Amino acid sequence: MESTNPVLSRLDETVRARRGYAPTPVEAVTVDDVVLRTVGLLILTAAVAALAWVLVPAGGAVGAALLGTTLAGLVLGLVISIKRITNPLVISLYAIVQGVLLGVASRGFEALYPGIVVQAVVGTFGVFTGMALLYRARVIRATPRFARLVLGALFGVIVLSLVNLAVYLITGRQGLEVYSRTGHVGWLPYVFSLVAITVGALTFILDFDAAERAVRAGLPRRYAWYCAFGILVGLIFLYWQILRLLGYLRR
């Protein structure tokens, strides 16, 4: 079963390549390794976000910080995923860049809608915990059909988001996603946000499965960083979707 997360799906190639490998117990990755590194990356991201919230000055610096961290995060994320990098320093750098972006952008939302950031954080971890419990109880299974459905939905959400952004930049029209933080929001952005949140939540099932298979395949312990990175990417995506939906609701 391949993960729909474009980050963790790269693990499938590594798992297939290492079949038959018999590592010593000391060097094999465990579930605890993945959990600890995921928690560490989340703490690092949150700490940097808090510092950026306080230290990055308002005004022109905000736009520069948003643009710079967005581009840097995109490049780093692609490089880590494509190269299957397991270096904790590089992955931590990604968490730091995303922390700056989260802190600055979240501060803008909080200024308009007090309390929205706490609501988004609670919602994000609530969804994540719920999917973890469903996976553990095997209520939702990572079957081939499930993977195809989620992968198709995720691809559709990403493509439609990019098309919507391109249309907005060219014409100024906002359709599936509303980029301004004030003004009326029609029913379509609400539906699209709910779909994106649902798809983002379902990808965690396949991410958990990918990490579990990495453990069963006996991949080296350093791959725990790669698994943690993939889960962090999913959490950040889900946070943005929930924050956007809450912003619509608070209009």
Neighbours of 71 (CB within 10 A): 11
Can you give the pLDDT at residue 195? 94
What is the pLDDT, as a whole number, of residue 74? 80
The per-residue pLDDT for 2 is 43
* 127-145: b (≥16 Cβ within 10 Å) or e: bbeebeebbeeeeeebeee
Number of H helices, E strands in the chain: 8, 0
The confidence score (pLDDT) of residue 106 equals 92
C-beta of residue 33 within 8 angstroms of C-beta of residue 221: yes
How far apart (Å, rounded) are the C-alpha atoms in residues 200 and 99?
A: 20
The predicted pLDDT at position 127 comes to: 95
> What integer pLDDT is reported at residue 63 of this predicted model?
67
DSSP string for residues in 89-133: HHHHHHHHHHHHHHHHHHHHHHHHSTTHHHHHHHHHHHHHHHHHH
Q: In the prediction, which pLDDT does 190 show?
A: 93
pLDDT above 90 as % of the chain: 39
Q: What is the pLDDT of residue 202?
A: 93
Kindly give the parts of the chain with pLDDT less than 70.
1-26, 59-65, 181
Cα(6)–Cα(68) distance, integer angstroms = 23
Q: How far is CA 5 from CA 161, 175, 233, in A?
A: 17, 26, 9
